[in-house]
Structure 1
């Protein structure tokens, strides 16, 4: 991610010089013998032509409208392209043709509602793609297929309604997928099969009413999953089993969630952070193991302070983390904190044997790449 910081924190020096490829474009500032061309908020209406030696082109905050075919055909040396806040509405077929060295592409905060087939042709080195804050409602099958090195994809805050099989075909190295704030009602079976090595998956603030068990079943190494603000009432058995030994962070807050199936947390052995606040939960499933949890949020749920919560109470008694959780029943316990309730004092809890072992990563996943991102 240090490359990302380098690409966005460049010095802007030198006078604007009108010219053609080989010279600094009119109204822009250039640095490093045209390697960095900065045209941020200068009133451009068309994409300027830049030299093949240009490595970074910043076109933010200009009214460009669309990206026509071959717009960057003379910019073959680009590594980082910034087009945020450019009032873009469409990405045409072969819009980025020739950009075989591009690593960073920023298209955030535009009005993009159409991405034509072949739009991302030639982007074989692209690693970071930012499409957040647009109007995208549909993704064609294989639209990302040229991006064999794609690592981070930001699609949050669009208008996506569903994911179909083949959407991520070819993007086998994708690790971080952000789709928060869309209108997703379902993930079709097979829609995530091509990106089975996802480590971070954000699906919060969508419209999914059922947990997409089949679509999620091929995922293997998810570390962080957010599903908050989806109207799901239940989480089924084995929901996280395929990646449970890797999952460390799970957010299920603000869902109206009423219950977990008893086996919902089967296979989940490494969870550290679990967010369940602002739901309708009365109890927690027997399959939830507390031994690795260091951050648990439970507030604003109608907890039933009976022996079903005895494992939770036992964990609270032995943990520094004693989260806010108020009893709603039975009547004599109503209003009391779970951690202070005496209702579980006579309950028997069968201790669970701690599971120990070394974490094994697939050869193509490097945990160090996720640090400080």
Structure 2
């Protein structure tokens, strides 16, 4: 009888231990890795203010704490959240990874956390988040993303939250932020610190993320203001009509037309000078007789000069050749040479 009572008490103690919270405090111990000597039935594990990087070795150890409901990894040296970083923590409800150096969050980083309700990613260096990063978190109710480097965040309308914190990010008022704005205004979510949750307009003015006038067809609005000045002037003056085939065809036609005009303007003077530089033609039969008469008149002897013999007439033809150094602008024709040879 005594043995049965002792056995009953022992089982009662085990049941109580199983259902009560078992906390393990490993904070501020300068740990680089998660220790293997921890009690694996722990339900609350605090590893904050250490030097843990959450590499493959740490992920393997974490997977052994199947009863964890709360995990605190804030103030560590985590830089990347790889896929399946918490793959075996099916009972985890609260996860705090704030105040790290996280810049990259892979798409399936939180896979398997079906019971997760509170996720804190604040005070990190996250630049971009995939729209499907939180899809598997069906029980998520509180998401803290404040003070990261997010400029936009695509979110699906089916995402159910009670509270979200987005302040302290450099949001850009562009069409990339439109679905988040619609979700914030149409859902029942509470935007904490709403007055400080602002986005930046192209003129560098800050406005509430819920009040910004964002146009769905504003195709160039997603370009950061500091990069917009690098676009050519004619692109700035074009209407914002989107990336349609008509718009692309118009731009292509404009470029080809301009190129053709420039090519024509450069090449036309060369063709013109080539055409007017050649004026020669073959002498026709009638032209040769007329030229013979004119040449005979030129070959008539000139009056004799006093003091010279009449036997030595001065021929104009010879005088012309004596002054050959002076160019008269005419080109010698082969028909003239033939005629002179025949006369001689």
Using structure 1 for the length normalisation, give the TM-score: 0.48
Counterpart residue number, 1:138? none
Matches within 5 A, 1:158-169: 158-163=29-34, 166-168=36-38
Q: Cα distance, 1:332 vs. partner? A: 4.5
Counterpart residue number, 2:93? 223
Distance 1:345 1:212 in 2: 33
Structure 2 unaligned segments of length 5 or more: list them: 1-9, 219-344
Residues 257-266 or 297-306, more deviating: 257-266
Q: Which among 62, 67, 88 is matched to residue 197 of structure 1?
A: 67
Distance 1:248 1:289 in 2: 16
Higher helix share: 2
Distance 1:256 1:335 in 2: 21
Matched residue of 2:60: which SS? coil
Matches within 5 A, 1:109-258: 151-163=22-34, 166-168=36-38, 171-187=39-55, 188=57, 189-243=59-113, 245-258=114-127
Greater C-alpha radius of gyration: 2
Q: Can you list the C-alpha shifts for 1:3-58, whole angstroms capped at 9, x where unaligned?
A: xxxxxxxxxxxxxxxxxxxxxxxxxxxxxxxxxxxxxxxxxxxxxxxxxxxxxxxx
Matched residue of 2:164: which SS? strand
Distance 2:32 2:16 in 1: 26
Matched residue of 1:339: which SS? coil
Would you say the 8 A contact 2:124–2:147 is kept in 1?
yes
Counterpart residue number, 1:139? none
The alpha-carbon distance between structure 1 residues 201 and 285, as it changes in their structure 2 partners (threshold 3 A), is: farther
Structure 1 unaligned segments of length 5 or more: list them: 1-99, 104-123, 128-146, 348-373
Q: Can you list the C-alpha shifts for 1:122-144, whole angstroms capped at 9, x where unaligned?
A: xx9996xxxxxxxxxxxxxxxxx
The alpha-carbon distance between structure 1 residues 311 and 269, as it changes in their structure 2 partners (threshold 3 A), is: farther
Counterpart residue number, 2:256? none
Matches within 5 A, 1:55-66: none
Q: Which among 160, 180, 183 is matched to residue 315 of structure 1?
A: 183
Would you say the 8 A contact 1:252–1:275 is kept in 2?
yes
Q: Cα distance, 1:228 vs. partner? A: 0.6
Matches within 5 A, 1:32-111: none
Counterpart residue number, 1:302? 170
Q: Can you list the C-alpha shifts for 1:286-326, whole angstroms capped at 9, x where unaligned?
A: 468532x1221111111122233223212321336243421
Distance 1:271 1:150 in 2: 21
Matched residue of 1:313: which SS? helix
Q: Cα distance, 1:255 vs. partner? A: 0.7
Distance 1:179 1:288 in 2: 35
Counterpart residue number, 1:143? none
Distance 1:214 1:267 in 2: 12
Q: Can you list the C-alpha shifts for 1:239-262, whole angstroms capped at 9, x where unaligned?
A: 11201x311111111112211134
Matched, 1:342 2:213: yes
